[in-house]
Structure 1
Amino acid sequence: MNGWGRLVKIAADVGLGVVFAAVLVFEAVRVAASWGGNYWQFNLAAGAVVCVIAVLRRRDRARAAVAGLTVAAVAVLVARSAQLPSQPGPAMALALSVLVAAAIRTLPPRPATVVAAAGLAVAAGSLLTVHGPSSLSLVVTVNGVGWSAAVATGLLRRLRGTRRQAILEKVRRDERLELARELHDVVAHHITGVVLQTQAARITHRKHPEQLEGSLTDIESAGSDALAAMRRVVGLLRDTDDAAPGSPGPEQLGDLVERFTRHGPPVSLQLPERKSVWPPEVISTVYRVVQESLTNVSRHAPHARSVTVCVGEDHERVTVGVVDDGPPAPTRHRGGYGLVGLRERVEALDGTFSAGPRPGTGWSVRATLPVPARTRR
């Protein structure tokens, strides 16, 4: 996990702890006012235990959910046998909602279903501790709404994560297919030329042996062109996995630009002044946008004189733009699967994407990606 993501989660847990503390104090005051005596002490202790478990849930969501639900079930039984205030109280119900939602969002389907069912059982079991019609109404409302909100929130976040993963998998498949098509086109075009020139050289050798040297020179040139084209494609598109190589941050883009410059126009790379640490999915997507854009320059704008790659950061957004000055041509079209895959990838991360010709000459690709909010000093 990157540093900013860790800080955001710590801040969220601290905020949740503050909310729990406020609800616990409010609940203890209400119980002391309505029941008198020391009844509030058990209520406060049981609720505090479950709240602490909820704050620490990230260490092991399955065990945290089991522990919280177990404490809540025991509290219900104790309250029933000792005629104590109804359990789970508001603070405990809120903590159970957090635990159940986290479990449903992250655990495999079967354990998540078990946790959801156990949460419903605890919510229903709270009916055993009611002490009158007004208490019944409050218990049903607090625990019913809490459980329903937990299930709905957990399922929505789970479905969103599943959808995002499915889109990313589709993008990966499309990128592999595009690479296969690109390699096939390059090989077919150049190797066909080599074969035709070799056949012509055989005919020339029989009729005009003195011209064989020129034919062999043409074959050598065609072979060199094929090798250079293959190197451009493989050099830009090779990757061992989906993530961009190198250390976290935008610095690894320098290697990509250097590989491209060896066989293409010079590239001006502009990066943020200060070193930033972004989530892995943002790093990977920024890398892919630049990679696909440079590949398109190599394929569709071989006569471009310069390319500018600009990566910027503004508060909670990362912006990446790639611009070239290639001359307009009737055959220059970049609406293939690569850009479609980039658009899907960027939008899966709640970003925006645009690509198209610039006024007059050249082509522009631009993507904006949100990053977690940062703690300001």
Structure 2
Amino acid sequence: MSRTTVLSRFFAAFDQRSRTLRHFAAPGLSAMMILLWVLDLRAALQIPTVEDWPGPPTGPMDFAGAVSGAVCVLAVVLVSVPRSGPRATLAAGIAVPLSVLTVSVLLWPLPKGMFGFPITMAETAGVIVVLALAGLRCRAWQIAVVSVLALAAFFSDYLREPTGLYLSSTLLMVATGLAPGLYLRWHAAERRGHVERVRSAERLAIARDLHDVVAHEVTGIVVQAQALRHIADRNPAAIRAALPEIEASGTRALESMRGMVSRLREPGEAPLASNPAEGLTALAAPAAPGRPEVTVHVSGPIGELPPEVGTAVLRIAQESVTNALRYARGATRVSVVVTADDGEVLIRVDDDGRGAGRPVGGGHGLVGMAERARLLNGELTAGPDGVGQGWTVRGTIPARNGGDGRE
């Protein structure tokens, strides 16, 4: 299995789960922070009095940690929304550790008693969460600012509870906070790079298909020029002098294009099909042990489509059938329906298998198909059919003047 295939499957599985997790990330973080704050407040209300041990009397400062925790909860709730940008994240990354540090400075002169005033759970979780969000969203200098403030906030525990100062554990806390955000940032960058590589590869394939179209047109020009040399009635001297040059220029262009594309084409790669309708019909196959039946229904003037549109339809259908045969577990049939009219071409490929394990939005084939349709001003979607088991690919491509050349 190639590295590209492994990455495609990893990204597909990760994306399939992350889409669900993103819906619950903000509510989950908010609920966690509120729960921790409630536990901190409950602990503050249960502080023993001076009769239980020699310590400070219960007073308003016993709730300073809970107040700082409330600030942390509010900041995390506001900034955990996925739409929050680097500036909002930086503001939260400054506010949370500053709140912890300010309370530590205020508690420093007070007698500490038996247990002191340790940093609360909500404060600790707030600092860790804003570190993770900064690692995910912010620039390098912003991450550095939040990290330094978080380091100072964790160090300030010594002002509340002077039982020892451990640099290694403090640095570990900061690293623990940064690690998830930096990992997700790296994954997003890898995902973008993977998609760009797939799109580039698909554009090369499209360029090779377009070469076949242009080569056909240039061949016609050469043939016409050759014919004109022999059937010209008036035989003007200027035309006779120009025609050989036209023929030579067309031949040179054709040879150059063929040489260039032959170096781009992979070994064994099939060139542009001369008849997309025949290529679609060739996809049909009877059921076999371990292989579902593939049925093809084609209607409309498929053979009259522009070559780039017909090629796109055929490639999308081929890739969709390949994915269905590879990933649709337990499928008994794969259906291909292509309908063409004067306005657009509709492609639908579905199966009745269990497709939960196949790539969803992250596979090489689906990205390439979507890119091919997009370049022709079309669109392509894929996913469960919403009725039961099965997977459906739907594509729509304008039948005439599909592409305008714009990116």
TM-score, length of structure 1 as denominator length: 0.54
Over 3 Å counting, the alpha-carbon distance change for 1:319 and 1:61 in structure 2 is farther
Q: Which residue does the alignment assign to 2:28? A: 15
Over 3 Å counting, the alpha-carbon distance change for 1:46 and 1:291 in structure 2 is closer
What pairs up with 1:1-377 in 2 under 5 angstroms? 11-34=24-47, 36=49, 37-38=58-59, 39-57=61-79, 58=81, 59=84, 60-83=88-111, 85-132=116-163, 146-205=173-232, 228-230=306-308, 232=310, 262=342, 267-268=347-348, 289=369, 292=372, 311-313=383-385, 319-321=391-393
Q: CA deviation at 1:107?
A: 0.9
Q: CA deviation at 1:67?
A: 1.4
Q: Which residue does the alignment assign to 1:362? A: none
Q: Distance in 1 between matches of 2:62 and 2:44?
A: 5
Q: Distance in 2 between matches of 1:97 and 1:32?
A: 25
Structure 1: gaps of 5 or more residues = 207-224, 238-256, 272-280, 296-308, 324-377
Over 3 Å counting, the alpha-carbon distance change for 1:227 and 1:200 in structure 2 is farther
Q: Which amino acid aligns with 1:26?
A: L
Over 3 Å counting, the alpha-carbon distance change for 1:21 and 1:269 in structure 2 is same
Q: Tell me if the contact between 1:61 and 1:99 (Cα under 8 Å) persists in the aligned partners.
A: yes
Q: Give the share of equivalent positions with the same residue, in percent.
A: 21
Q: Distance in 2 between matches of 1:294 and 1:48?
A: 48
Over 3 Å counting, the alpha-carbon distance change for 1:21 and 1:264 in structure 2 is closer
Over 3 Å counting, the alpha-carbon distance change for 1:262 and 1:194 in structure 2 is farther
Q: Tell me if the contact between 2:382 and 2:392 (Cα under 8 Å) persists in the aligned partners.
A: yes
Q: CA deviation at 1:186?
A: 1.6
Over 3 Å counting, the alpha-carbon distance change for 1:76 and 1:314 in structure 2 is farther
Q: List per-residue Cα deviations over 1:32-53 (Å, max 9, x = no partner).
A: 5455423532121111111111
Q: Tell me if the contact between 1:79 and 1:87 (Cα under 8 Å) persists in the aligned partners.
A: no
Q: Which amino acid aligns with 1:189?
A: H
Q: Distance in 1 between matches of 2:149 and 2:32?
A: 24
Over 3 Å counting, the alpha-carbon distance change for 1:45 and 1:267 in structure 2 is closer
Q: CA deviation at 1:174?
A: 2.5
Over 3 Å counting, the alpha-carbon distance change for 1:90 and 1:83 in structure 2 is farther
Q: Distance in 2 between matches of 1:265 and 1:118?
A: 58
Over 3 Å counting, the alpha-carbon distance change for 1:314 and 1:35 in structure 2 is farther
Secondary structure at 2:141's aligned position in 1?
helix
TM-score, length of structure 2 as denominator length: 0.50
Aligned residues: CA RMSD? 4.7
Over 3 Å counting, the alpha-carbon distance change for 1:153 and 1:8 in structure 2 is closer
Over 3 Å counting, the alpha-carbon distance change for 1:162 and 1:31 in structure 2 is same
Q: Distance in 2 between matches of 1:291 and 1:44?
A: 53
Over 3 Å counting, the alpha-carbon distance change for 1:313 and 1:74 in structure 2 is farther
Over 3 Å counting, the alpha-carbon distance change for 1:51 and 1:31 in structure 2 is same
Secondary structure at 2:119's aligned position in 1?
coil
Q: Distance in 2 between matches of 1:269 and 1:152?
A: 42
Q: Which residue does the alignment assign to 1:214? A: none
Q: Distance in 2 between matches of 1:51 and 1:173?
A: 44
Secondary structure at 2:132's aligned position in 1?
helix
Q: Tell me if the contact between 1:190 and 1:226 (Cα under 8 Å) persists in the aligned partners.
A: no
Q: CA deviation at 1:99?
A: 0.9
Structure showing greater radius of gyration is 2
Q: Distance in 1 between matches of 2:371 and 2:390?
A: 16
Q: Distance in 2 between matches of 1:81 and 1:313?
A: 66
Q: Tell me if the contact between 2:350 and 2:392 (Cα under 8 Å) persists in the aligned partners.
A: no
